[in-house]
């Protein structure tokens, strides 16, 4: 971990040494956290870095402001070091590593399947240890992306680079949420090549992505819809606690991204889904996520409005 004494220093550091995530204090000398966040998101080199705000402010609109600018969560000060570590481990994107002895709420060994291509520990961490939810998300991923490889081949064959980028971006987001780290990276590589007009690389990168996707699909073929193991049932018979303090803030941040047709909207789905595990809104979030995956932002907004209205009453 690298620390900076000011916003300007932080910008200089990340420009040359890009981190996986930044814990950003709202109140800093010279340049506040909001301005730093704005500059990070405006710079293509640093735009994809995940940002978590640290703030002592209690005002909901202030916290929502940071989330709306592209931060993925906030931590309230004062805080305990263990709280910070657990939050960052839960949010950190696939492929990153963190040197901390943090125990997941359910060990990966308790998951009733061996899934080549899936980092079960990472996936369970994102689902707050809920094995049954993790299984449901994996099945939904398998069923919704069954034709993704064919669609990619067709888009590439007709040189439809815009659709190739959209398909790769969608796969990247969903793969990250389920712990499919190699698939996530392959999708990110293809998306990046399209955006940077590296046309000679598109065919081989697409082949790598499809190879990873096929491995995941073969792996997930062993999961049966509607069937659950005793370990699954035991873990989800009890209502799961829901953090209703953070949920409205993240929903409003998601609203901002959907209204601006931001392709990064999918980055907020995982944290929101984890907060609503076991709640009456869990199924609605799944439907909202499906809209985001197919880039149906108006449909996602409609579902988001219904969830937000229900939560506020």
State the pTM of this model. Answer: 0.48
Q: What is the pLDDT of residue 236?
A: 44
Q: What is the pLDDT of residue 231?
A: 42
Q: What is the pLDDT of residue 196?
A: 92
Is-contact 31 8, C-beta < 8 A? yes
Q: What is the pLDDT of residue 121?
A: 82
Q: What is the pLDDT of residue 60?
A: 60
Q: What is the pLDDT of residue 94?
A: 45
> Quick count: other Cβ atoms within 10 Å of Cβ 176?
24
Q: What is the pLDDT of residue 227?
A: 41
φ/ψ bin of 191: left (φ > 0), alpha (ψ from -120 to 50), beta (otherwise): alpha
Rounded-to-integer distance, Cα 99 and Cα 33, Å: 25
Q: What is the pLDDT of residue 86?
A: 65
Strands 73-76 and 50-55: parallel
Reported in sequence order, the residue ranges of the chain that DSSP labels E, i.e. its strands, are 21-25, 50-55, 73-76
Q: What is the pLDDT of residue 83?
A: 63
Ranges of the chain whose pLDDT falls below 70: 1-2, 16, 56-64, 67-68, 77-113, 126-129, 225-245, 274, 277-278, 313
The 3-state DSSP composition of the chain as helix, strand, coil percent (nearest 5) reads 60, 5, 35
Rounded-to-integer distance, Cα 291 and Cα 302, Å: 10
């Amino acid at each position: 971990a690298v620390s900076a004494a000011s916003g300007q220093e932080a910008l200089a550091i990340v420009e040359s040494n890009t981190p996986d995530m930044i814990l950003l204090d709202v109140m800093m000398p010279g340049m506040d956290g909001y301005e730093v966040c704005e500059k990070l998101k405006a710079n293509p080199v640093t735009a994809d870095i995940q940002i978590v705000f640290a703030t002592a402010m209690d005002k909901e609109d202030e916290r929502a402001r940071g989330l709306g600018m592209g931060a993925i969560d906030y931590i309230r000060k004062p805080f305990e070091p263990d709280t910070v570590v657990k939050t960052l481990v839960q949010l950190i994107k696939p492929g990153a590593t963190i040197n901390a002895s943090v125990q997941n709420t359910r060990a990966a060994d308790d998951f009733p399947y061996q899934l080549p291509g899936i980092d079960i520990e990472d996936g369970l961490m994102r689902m707050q240890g809920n094995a049954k939810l993790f299984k449901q998300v994996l099945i939904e991923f398998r069923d919704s992306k069954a034709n993704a490889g064919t669609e990619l081949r067709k888009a590439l064959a007709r040189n439809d680079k815009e659709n190739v980028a959209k398909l790769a971006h969608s796969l990247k987001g969903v793969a990250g949420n389920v712990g499919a780290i190699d698939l996530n990276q392959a999708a990110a590589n293809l998306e990046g090549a399209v955006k940077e007009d590296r046309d000679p690389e598109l065919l081989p990168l697409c082949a790598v992505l499809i190879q990873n996707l096929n491995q995941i699909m073969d792996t997930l073929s062993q999961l049966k819809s509607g069937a659950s193991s005793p370990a699954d049932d035991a873990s989800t018979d009890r209502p799961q606690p829901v953090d209703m303090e953070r949920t409205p803030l993240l929903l409003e941040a998601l609203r901002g991204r959907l209204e601006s047709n931001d392709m990064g909207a999918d980055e907020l789905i995982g944290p929101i889904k984890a907060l609503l595990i076991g709640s009456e809104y869990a199924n609605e979030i799944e439907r909202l996520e499906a809209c985001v995956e197919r880039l149906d932002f108006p449909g996602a907004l409609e579902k988001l409005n219904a969830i937000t209205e229900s939560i506020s009453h």
